[in-house]
Amino acid sequence: MPTIAGIMLQAQRSLRSPRKRRNRSLSMRAKKLTTRRTKLIDLTGQRFDRLTVLRRMPNIPNVPNSQWLCRCKCKRETVVSSNSLRRKLTRSCGCFADECRLNPQLKFKLHGAARHGKRTPEYISWVAMHQRCSNAKKDGYKYYGARGITVCIRWKGRHGFENFLADVGPRPKGTTLDRKKVNGNYEPDNCQWATPTEQANNRRMKKAA
């Protein structure tokens, strides 16, 4: 027959067991995180656009990405995170941006926005789209930006044009950028290249609906 002391001991063990399991699971997670961090990809000697990786630098506190000392094409050295290198967020020590200020055509050549020294139709449409939505001085702003029409984040920023071109494709001759939903924003699911006739038919269908 079980004693009172035995029952109390069994109760205490049952109360402790969930806590032990929880502590065990936490320790396993910590080990997994440690294992992930130790799996560092050595970037030494690799080249990313104008940057060549020289060696790894000490980590920055509270920053998960490793830091790397790089030598730029212009011979200057700079420290860049592994994330910025591998995602092509940083391509130079800053010299490329300086060159673009003096010669804007360099920026166009970087992502295919120019052909034979002239801006492509796709790039012109991309710029016009942003102007309509953000520049209050433009005539078309009252029909777009003033009505709350915006451009999606994917089509903004440094790689905005590249993403835009990848999503909508080359602009066929005789077409312009059209929004399928007249009150919708500029985003991949709502944009297409369309002729004036197609756009007029699209507007008629919207009014009929």
pLDDT in tens, 7-64: 556 656 655 555 555 556 656 665 554 444 456 789 999 999 889 999 999 988 877 8
Higher pLDDT, 106 or 195: 195
In terms of residue numbers, what domain contains 71?
A: 47-102
Q: In whole angstroms, what is the distance from residue 203 CA to residue 206 CA? A: 5
Residue 144 and residue 200 in one domain: yes
Residue 111 within a domain? no
Token digits of residue 44: 């030494």
Of 114, 100, 183, 103, give the one whose Cα is nearest residue 144. 183
Q: What is the number of domains present in the chain?
A: 2
Strand extents, DSSP E, 82-205:
114-115, 118-119, 176-179, 191-194
User: Lowest mean pLDDT: which of 98-107, 121-130, 185-194?
Assistant: 98-107
Query: What is residue 163's predicted lDDT score, i.e. its pLDDT?
Result: 85
Of 132, 126, 161, give the one whose Cα is nearest residue 148. 132
The contacts of residue 179 (CB under 8 Å, 6+ apart) are: 185, 186, 190, 191
pTM of this structure: 0.48
Residue 96 and residue 123 in one domain: no
Residue 69 and residue 150 in one domain: no
Residue 139 and residue 88 in one domain: no
Residue 65 within a domain? yes
Angle at 155 between CA 153 and CA 159, to 5 degrees: 105
Query: What is residue 29's predicted lDDT score, i.e. its pLDDT?
Result: 61
Residue 196 within a domain? yes
Residue 157 and residue 203 in one domain: yes
CA-CA-CA-CA dihedral for 153, 157, 161, 166, to nearest 10: -50
What are the residues facing 192 on neighbouring strands? Answer: 178
